[in-house]
Structure 1
Amino acid sequence: MNAVFETDAPLAGKDADRALRDAYRATEWRIMPILFVLWLLAWVDRANVAFAKLQMLSDLRFSETVYGLGAGLFFLGYVVFGVPSSMIQQRVGARTTISAIALGWGVTSVAMMFVHDTTTFYVLRFLLGAFEAGFYPGVILYMNQWFPSQRRTRNFSIFHSAAICSTVAVGLSGGFVLEHMSGLFSIAGWRWMFLLQAVPTVLMGCIALAVLTDGPGSARWLSPQQRRLVQADLERDRGDAPPSTARAGSLLANPLVWTLSAAYFCILTANSALSFFIPTILHEAGFGGYSAIGNAIAAICVLGALGNIALSTFASRYRDVRAHCAIASLISVASLLVLVFVWHSSRSFTFITLVLALAGTGAGISLFWQIPVRYLQGNAMTLGVPFISSVANLAGFLTPWLTGYVRDVSGSYTSGFVTAALVQSLAAIVLVVGVPIAARRRSTRAATTEHEPA
């Protein structure tokens, strides 16, 4: 419960600590459920095409390459509109931007039920990515306005677990709809699935507009004392971060931004392979009908989410998040390499390796986003975060497209998944070796610039 103080006198000592804890607890219960559900729905609306694929490809006579390109075009829209969306958020505020983004992608997701040819499929997937582009980097910046680093690491791992849990929603609801609603009112099951899974997004967009605020200063659920304590705590936390003299115009010349983009690209390569092909993997592993596949996906993703939270919580106790992010990535790499050898021969090992792969990629992504906010400040962070997200999400465009193409050519997903695993292994090298080098180069360049004569 949020403590209410009748006096406006400054608090000190244990009273101040207790009030600050109450303020953060009240804030977490206020905004984290909304952000969690919106991120869950974002992943439902972007990744449900993987489940629809089980019917849609035969209904519309799409090839694996067409499917892969359409799935990947989401991320092309993501890349193009990521930075502009975040710039809009800086102007109009997080509350309005996050709500508008949710409503935009929700309506586009409803329209997916009307796909009838490759053109509409490609256009709607691109628009879906364009609308959703600003949400993820926007939430990263939004959490930076609300929580100090240690709380932010834990809360972000919880937030990001929604991406894994979303597959539970896709699996359970998608399996039921495809199995029991196909042909209802002469409408295909995959069309019903797109409609029913998009409506909650529109509703949550309206709720976000009514409940969220732009920052602690306008949070009515906090007392004036609590607002001051939170803002002072955040200032202290930011004071521990390395200073930055970066300007918006120097973003493209910042080696650290490009190095972080490369690391995140490598992490997302494996994540994209899993996101868009898990139902197909389970189908080929012999998990039975739509409901059986959906139940297996749900169980895999719940366990993967728990693994993500456990790894991220353990890492939050240490300052060196980079090393733990690299370890999480290597867990995913090992799991993917084992997966390609077992998914046609053992349902049990397929299940276990998918759990470990999702836990590794989930923790890798959660921990990665604690790295930029420790190195980048001011404009470098405001524009750098969406820039990193946009550039790295090219992996989401390339991976499903190339994986589908390889399947059409070779008749197997093996080469695609091995390639994704090897690319993600590079993330560990970039994080452990590349980021410190780039940070030193950035610091040296900044120091040189400061001492140059005007």
Structure 2
Amino acid sequence: MNALFETDAAAAEDKDSDRALRDAYRASEWRIMPILFGLWLLAWVDRANVAFAKLQMLSDLRFSETVYGFGAGLFFLGYVLLGVPSSMVQQRVGARKTISSIALGWGVTSVAMMFVKSAGTFYVLRFLLGAFEAGFYPGVILYMNQWFPTKRRTRNFSIFHSAAICSTVAVGLSGGFVLEHMSGLWGVAGWRWMLLLQSVPTVLMGCLAFAVLPDGPATARWLSPQQRRLVQDDLERDSDGFVSRAGRAAPLLANPVVWVLAAAYFCILTANSALSFFTPTILHEAGFGGYSAIGNAIAAICVLGALGNIAFSTFASRYRDVRWHCAVASLISVASLLVLVFVWHSSRQATFATLVLALAGTGAGISLFWQIPVRFLHGNAMALGVPLISSVANVAGFLTPWLTGYVRDVSGSYTSGFVTAAAVQALAAIILIVGIPFVARKQQTSAATPGQEPA
């Protein structure tokens, strides 16, 4: 009888612990995710609003498509160079100070963009914008690893990443209104007003992040000591399965898994960059009318694309290995881009539909991709591997708009640029399905060799 009572008491205690753990995660999500979502939305507003400003800026400043593409891409050169150092700073000073400082830096730089008068100034500010923002994305990835186990992290990251798609809603709606109704106000061009008004919220959100975000569960005021312990134990259980299968890792720069992951992410970002910096121009050429009509179309496309991203990523989160789902999402984007080049001069409806699918595919591909490195990288390898992968892969963000703009100047069409982006994205699916398992098996075989030193 005593044993029965003890069993019942243990079951009740486990039930209470499960409830306390769920409450801890739910409370953390409501406090952390809105701030991270808002910052990522504003990061994309500030990096990609030049795509909408382009509709006026090129003629106003007499920039060529090549100048625009090179300047747009320079953002990613700064991003590549500063990604790893920024993440190392976060490891030392904590997420709260790093994330808020990054936001304030790129916010002030974005405000300065309204004063651009020459190609040289445009290039410098775009580079600085990328340099300031470099540590944010990999920093958030590491931050989420400190807060949520795999299933919750996959869903939360898809929601976080959808801010990148939804940012175009903000750019489209506000940009269309400003360009149409504020051009010439007080002698200032509409695209300058747009860049200013879309930058100020970033500075305010950076201040909010400093005031609200904790460095991790251990310093979260909304968690009880019991909840902090439960969260920590749950995260350790979640990571144990991956660590036991990973074997001993090679030193980071000599680890082939890191470079294969970087190659896959590079391919995914190629298509994403083409869409980010040229969607307003595509809609303009497809005949969507004035600035407000283009802005409204962008908003609708991005809302539907974000919903598709979340739905697909939520479905994929049921499975521990999301590589196949990431590959499928990439192939959806490939098919959409190939159809897009044939329809955007002939059908507004088809252009709209293919852009929705392309954005949903690239968004889900990026969201799901960042659930893969945790299976192969751990500890310091994870902390430095994530920004390294992000930095190397973001070279695609530098090359894609520059080459696409150059091709447009030379050929008078974006077709070759978008077909190339689709082909590169198709390589991502091949790397995900074939390349990653191959190098992972080789890594495990090497780690099992007698005398192999651990990293």
Instruction: Answer whether TM exceeds 0.5 for this pair.
Output: yes
Q: Distance in 2 between matches of 1:185 and 1:446?
A: 67
In structure 2, the partner of 1:296 is 297
Q: How does 1:271-286 map to 2 (within 5 A)?
A: 271-286=272-287
Equivalent position of 2:46 in the other structure? 45
Q: Residues 140 and 452 of structure 1: is their aligned pair in 2 closer, same or farther, counting only changes over 3 Å? A: closer
**1:36 aligned residue:** 37
Distance (whole Å) between structure 2 residues aligned to residue 399 and residue 206 of structure 1:
33
Corresponding residue number in structure 2 for 1:84: 85
Report the equivalent of 2:5: none
Does the Cα contact within 8 Å between 1:244 and 1:378 map onto a contact in 2? no
Alignment of 1:121-200 (within 5 A): 121-200=122-201
Amino acid of the structure 2 residue aligned with 1:218: T
Q: Count the aligned residue pairs.
A: 443
Conserved? CA contact 1:312–1:367, under 8 Å: yes
Q: Which amino acid aligns with 1:434?
A: G
Offset of residue 451 of structure 1:
4.3
TM superposition score normalised by structure 2: 0.96
Contact 2:75–2:126 (8 Å) recurs in 1: yes
Structure 1 residue 235 corresponds to structure 2 residue 236:
yes
Displacement of 1:284 in angstroms is: 0.1
Partner of residue 257, structure 1: 258
- 1:244 and 1:380 in contact (8 A); partners too: no
Unaligned 5+ segments in structure 2 are 1-11
Which amino acid is 1:140 matched to? I
Q: Is 2:307 the partner of 1:314?
A: no
Structure 2 match to 1:4: none
Identify if the C-alpha distance between structure 1 residues 352 and 206 changes in structure 2 by more than 3 Å, giving closer, same or farther. same
Task: Give the superposition deviation at 1:252.
Answer: 1.4
* Structure 1 residues 175 and 449: alpha-carbon distance in aligned structure 2, compared to 1, 3 A threshold: farther
Say if 2:336 is the partner of 1:338: no
The answer to whether the Cα contact below 8 Å between 1:246 and 1:378 also exists between their aligned partners in 2 is no
8 Å Cα contact 2:446-2:452 kept in structure 1: no
**Counterpart mapping for 1:417-436 below 5 A:** 417-436=418-437
Distance, in Å, in 1 between the alignment partners of 2:178 and 2:32 is 31
Contact map agreement 1:167 1:298 (CA 8 A) in 2: yes
| Displacement of 1:12 | 2.7
Structure 1 counterpart SS, 2:448 = helix
**Per the alignment, do residues 442 and 341 of structure 1 end up closer, same or farther by CA in structure 2, a change over 3 Å counting?**
same
Please name the residue that 2:348 is paired with.
347
| Cα shift at 1:245 | 3.8
Give distance in 1, aligned partners of 2:428 and 2:453.
35
Evaluate the alpha carbon distance shift between residue 277 and residue 220 of structure 1 in structure 2; reply closer, same or farther with a 3 A threshold. same
Using the TM superposition, give the Cα deviation of residue 450 of structure 1 relative to its aligned residue in structure 2, in angstroms.
4.5
In the alignment, is the contact (CA less than 8 A) between 1:272 and 1:400 conserved in 2?
yes
Give the corresponding residue for 1:216: 217
Contact 2:321 2:372 in 1 (8 A): no
Query: What letter matches 2:261 in structure 1?
Result: L
Aligned to 2:119: 118
C-alpha distance in structure 2 between counterparts of 1:441 and 1:94, whole Å: 35
Preserved contact between residue 270 and residue 397 of structure 2 (Cα < 8 Å): yes
| Distance of aligned partners of 1:164 and 1:214 in 2 relative to their CA distance in 1, 3 Å threshold | same
Q: Name the Cα RMSD after superposition.
A: 1.4
- State the 1:447 CA deviation: 2.6
TM-score normalized with structure 1 length: 0.96
Q: Do 2:249 and 2:443's aligned partners in 1 also have CA atoms closer than 8 Å?
A: no
Match of 1:14 in 2: 15
Alignment of 1:300-449 (within 5 A): 300-448=301-449
**Could you list the per-position Cα deviations for residues 135-172 of structure 1 after superposition, in whole angstroms to 9, with x for gaps in the alignment?**
00000000000000010000000000000000000000
Give structure 1 regions of 4+ aligned residues with deviation exceeding 6 angstroms. Answer: none
Distance apart, 1:378 and its partner CA = 1.1
Contact 2:77–2:130, Cα closer than 8 Å, also in 1: yes
User: How far off its partner does 1:444 sit?
Assistant: 2.2
Which amino acid letter does the alignment assign opposite residue 141 of structure 1? L
Whether the 8 Å contact between 1:266 and 1:395 is mirrored in structure 2 is yes
Matching residue of 1:7: none
Of all paired residues, the percent bearing the same amino acid is 85
